[in-house]
Amino acid sequence: MSDSLPLARRLSALDDDALTALLVIRHVPSRDVRDFFDLADALLEPASVRLALRPLDRATIAALAGDEAAGESDAPGRPAETLITLGLAEAAADSPRGFRAYSAAAEVATAVLTEAAPREAAAATPRAAAPSAIPEAAAASGEVVGLPEASPEVPAGLSPAVAAPSTDALASERAFIALSAISELGQQLRTAPMRLLARGGLSAGEEKRLGALLAVEPATIGALVEVATAARLVVVDVDTLLSTTRADEWSRLPSAERWLALATAWIGSLDEPVRRALHAAAATATGNSSGAGAEWSSGAPLRAAYSALFPAADDAMRAGLAQVDAVAELLGLTVDGRSTLFGRAALAASAVDAASIATTASTATPTSGTTAPSAAATRDLDALTAALPPEVAQVYLQHDLSVIAPGPLVPPVDARIRLLADLENRGVASTYRISQPTIDRALASGETETSLREFLAATSLTGLPQALDYLLAEGGRRHGLVRVRRLGEAPVTDGSTPTSSPYGARTLIRTTDRGLLGTIAVDQSLAPLGLRRDDDGSLSSRVDATATYWLLVDARYPVLAEDAEGRELVMRRARVAVAPTEQVASATGPRADNPAAVAEFVRRLRESSARSAPGDESAWVARQLDKAVRSRTPVTIAVRMPDGSTVRLDVTPLSLSNGRLRCVDVRAGIERTVPVANIQLIAAAE
């Protein structure tokens, strides 16, 4: 009980920002808290303390428990700062550690360490190595182990390398598949954003559809979206999954850099305990405390490192490691639990990123610009580039209007091919299909017939097929035949069309082909536009020009958009979100409270503080006495006598009214009435 008063005082002294941050971190149920005294009691509840200890490392928890031999925590900030911020301790200048732990928090910390000991001992018990890992471990150590005398039989006509691909070869295949799938996911979102379920995630039907398009198993779609979200390539806007502006920049990078950006962003989005456990397990596996060249660890080593570092982690947090292992396998960081070239490169890159962030945060004036990559980082990128399928810059144009890419296309060529053709099959060798609508799409996006011919002539290994030449000529002839102009207030420069209409038209549709204009006027698919003929023969609509343009595009008309002054516009149908400025936290990260609810909670606490200030000891004593009366809990009180002396009494409170406490003196066995104003201290009875 005695800790509640100093904690309540400290809480009331915090500014609104600091108090809000504490409430978000500790997740206090606001419905049960009426004032700062209630808040202090809630923060010192064992269940609340145990939740607060979950992300803290062993050294910090041991320091809270009062272990004098506990080493310095390597968590961000010193243990004193962390514990005081969390409301688990108060600053104490006379303590060598700089803080004094609240007794309730210290008791829970001690219990956590005691409960974790058997679990850590079980995790530390040596286990038999998996058969698939024995040859690799033996090769690394140079020791002779008891391998079977006969190696597995290799089918006739196949070399051992073909029958049993190396770990890095399998990792390369997985990395390329994941990279291609996330690229295609961004393209699909540019075509049509996807709705999410109320509970989060895509529907089973949507995952099945995407699985066929991305050439992956539907069950992996959720993990791919997680990685893309971490890399800020996609973002959730309310209930819709959108591509972001960052995806354009990312898509122009070489394959190795794109994959490394995905892997390091995903690692950076993991909860801090998971990231630290990854690096700790990797360093332990290689005996390399610096982490350079460390092996990616998964499965039992990762769980052992996690349990050793974070003894207060609950079952839900430890269960989240299974998702980490699954994504690591998907990205090629591991293959059947074994570290790969890709895993080592990503782990090293993420360690460098974390170190650079910490260095920048610790300096008063952060350096500007980008840091040149180290020799090790350059070697890793070269190794990844050599492992991934080589990129190509040329394609085969077929007479059936198909486009065959013999390998992954370099980003600039891939972007223009995707604009000119629809993807039919994605893989190491991808297939695209050109049609009249795709040529119209390219022309509407700013290309011209001449620019498309020059691009295809430089890119094609088989020349320009006659059928494609005809489509390009037809597209160039048709392009802009129908023009949609947004009507404005200012007169147009050429004076050829009006800018307003008697019935309030907002859009003008015109074409030199009178027959085509008549077809548009009677087209039932365009009935929502409510088209009307003007005196000059053009068509007008009250519908916005953008909506009119896309309705005409969907109806397969060769349409071009213009502004009110007749200038051509390049229309983008895709709804693209601005990329977040900060890395997106993982779905398993800390819960984000409702900002409005937290602000209202803080306001209510401030109002209660005005009525009953935590600095008023009499208010706190009255509160504790009221709680003791309601629960009939024996307490020890210190009473100031008329002569100025203080007497300590062990009592059982009976009632509290009119400023007087009626209680039973446990030692004397009699009933007493004590003025509340004379009670100087109240504590739990020993």
Q: What is the pLDDT of residues 399-412, one digit of tens each?
A: 999 999 999 999 88
Q: Dihedrals φ, ψ of 170, to 5°?
A: -65, -40
| Banded model confidence at residue 165, pLDDT cuts 50, 70, 90 | low
Read off the pLDDT of each residue in 535-540 and give the average, rounded to a whole number: 83
Q: From CA 367, how far away is CA 356, in angstroms rounded?
A: 11
* 3-class secondary structure, 482: strand
pLDDT value at residue 126? 52
Amino acid 588: pLDDT: 31
pLDDT of residue 535: 77
Place of tokens 């995407």: 210
Is residue 179 packed enough to be buried (19+ CB in 10 Å), middle (13-18) or exposed (0-12)? buried
The answer on pLDDT for 556 being more than 80 is yes
Give pTM, 2 decimals. Answer: 0.75
The Cα–Cα gap between 605 and 308 comes to 39
- How far from the centroid of its chain's Cα atoms is residue 75's Cα? 21
DSSP, res 292: T
Chain mean pLDDT for the chain: 80
Residues pairing with 392 in the sheet? 409
Asked whether residue 541 carries a pLDDT value surpassing 60, the answer given is yes
Average pLDDT over residues 260-265: 94
Which pLDDT does position 624 carry in this prediction? 79
Alpha carbons 550 and 573: distance in angstroms, whole number:
8
Distances (CA, A) of 592 to 48, 55, 268, 510: 17, 16, 18, 52
Name the pLDDT band for 582 (thresholds 50, 70, 90): low
Q: Which residues, in sequence order, are bridge partners of residue 562?
A: 485, 568
Predicted local distance difference test score (pLDDT) of residue 41: 85
- How do residues 42-78 score in pLDDT, each as one tens digit? 898 999 999 999 999 999 999 998 875 555 555 544 7
pLDDT over 50 (residue 497) = no
Structure tokens at 72: 């310095």
Reply yes or no on whether the pLDDT at 579 is more than 50. yes
The H-or-E segment that residue 381 falls in is: helix 375-387
**In DSSP terms, which residues pair with 35 in a beta bridge?**
none
* CA dihedral angle for residue 620, residue 625, residue 628, residue 634, rounded to 10 degrees: 110
- Which of 195-199, 251-255, 283-287, 359-363 is the least confident region? 359-363
At 323 the pLDDT is 92
pLDDT of residue 600: 82
Q: Which of 19-28, 94-103, 314-323, 587-596 has the weakest average pLDDT? A: 587-596
What pLDDT is stored for residue 615 in this prediction?
56
* Range name among 274-278, 289-293, 434-438, 580-584 with the lowest pLDDT average: 289-293
Other Cβ atoms within 10 Å of 534 Cβ, number? 16
Tell me, what's the pLDDT at 354?
Answer: 52
- 419-459 residue pLDDT tens: 899 988 887 888 999 998 889 888 888 888 999 999 999 99
Q: What is the 3-state secondary structure (H, E, C) of 566-585?
A: CCEECCCCCCEECCCCCCCC
Residues in the chain: 686
Percent pLDDT > 90 in the chain is 28
Q: By mean pLDDT, which of 434-448, 466-480, 593-607 is the weakest?
A: 593-607
When pLDDT is averaged across residues 265-283 and rounded to a whole number, the result is: 89
Q: What digits encode the pLDDT tens for the residues 105-164?
A: 999 999 999 988 777 666 555 544 333 333 333 333 333 333 333 333 434 443 444 444
> Across-strand partners of 656?
661
Integer Cα distance of 438 and 661 in angstroms: 87
- The pLDDT of 383-397, averaged and rounded, is 92
* 162, burial (CB in 10 Å: exposed 0-12, middle 13-18, buried 19+): exposed
C-alpha to C-alpha distance for 595 and 619, rounded to whole angstroms: 30
Reduced DSSP (H G I as helix, E B as strand, rest coil) percent helix, strand, coil of the chain, to 5 = 50, 15, 35
The answer on pLDDT for 393 being more than 70 is yes
For 608, other C-beta atoms within 10 Å of its C-beta total 19
User: Is residue 9 within 8 Å of residue 615, measured between CB atoms?
Assistant: yes
Helices (H), 494-544: 514-522
**Secondary structure of 201-240 in the HEC alphabet?**
CCCHHHHHHHHHHHCCCHHHHHHHHHHHHHCCCEEEECCE
Q: Which of 156-160, 509-513, 526-530, 570-574 has the lowest mean pLDDT?
A: 156-160
Q: Cβ of 514: how many Cβ atoms within 10 Å?
A: 9
Give the number of C-alpha atoms closer than 13 A to the C-alpha of residue 323, restricted to the C-beta side: 19
Asked whether residue 591 carries a pLDDT value surpassing 50, the answer given is no
Going by C-beta distance under 8 Å and a sequence separation of 6 or more, which residues neighbour residue 569?
A: 561, 562, 563
pLDDT score of 464: 92
